[in-house]
Amino acid sequence: MSDHAPGDLSFQAVVAEYFLGLRGGGLMLSPLDQEQVAEWERRGLPVAVVCRGLSRGLEDFLRRRPPGAGPTGPRSLRALRFGVEDEWSEFQARAIGDAPPPPPSEAAFAAARLAAARQRLSEAGAEAPPAWRDGYRAALEALGAPHRGSALQQVEAAIATADARLLAAWLASLDRPRRGSLGPRLSLRTGPRPRGASLGAHRQALRFHLLDASREAGLTCLRGTV
């Protein structure tokens, strides 16, 4: 199931904004790229998984470049599609584990996802640096807060809130120079807002790049992993 509820920014807009930032420019996706994104949305890939897969695909693309090749990135989003598929396969394996039958209901799936999120936070918090431990405790508390909507929507909202608590703790742990350099780094990763793209989609892309940066620093975030 996609993690975009009705009324949220469109799946296409967020993925396009994220990819154009990774590529370092461009105004819009090609028709073939738009169809690829639409296929991922129809199949129910969470937008966080797609964004992480695109980042993973770009790393593979850059590693495969012949020696002496210039810094030019991929021209199309479809060139990174195998990174997305690999990320999706790993996400499904983590979500399903070794149990062959799927959860019998939406409520059961939501409960299993919530339990996996709690376990992941508990394990990461036990090994986290002291400056991050309050953030992990706050994230665990956030998983128990009530939210509106269906069972899956409530879990998605709880996970988003938990990630926000983790990010806040991580940002607070940074010294002033590192925190001050983070904004320009994120802007560089995201690139300028393409003509016609909404401000909301641009901000959402920035948030995913922020999640990427926190994971690179060793923080265990939940979206796209449980």
Which of residues 48 and 28 earns the better pLDDT score? 48
* Cβ-defined contacts of 145-149 (< 8 Å, 24+): 149/5
**Section 19-46 average pLDDT:** 84
User: How far is 216 from 150, CA to CA, in rounded Å?
Assistant: 32
Whole-model pTM? 0.60
Which of residues 62 and 170 earns the better pLDDT score? 170
**Section 58-77 average pLDDT:** 76
CB 182 within 8 A of CB 175: no
Q: pLDDT by residue (tens digit) across 125-165?
A: 999 999 999 999 999 999 988 888 888 888 888 998 999 99
**Section 109-134 average pLDDT:** 90
Q: pLDDT by residue (tens digit) across 32-45?
A: 898 899 889 888 88
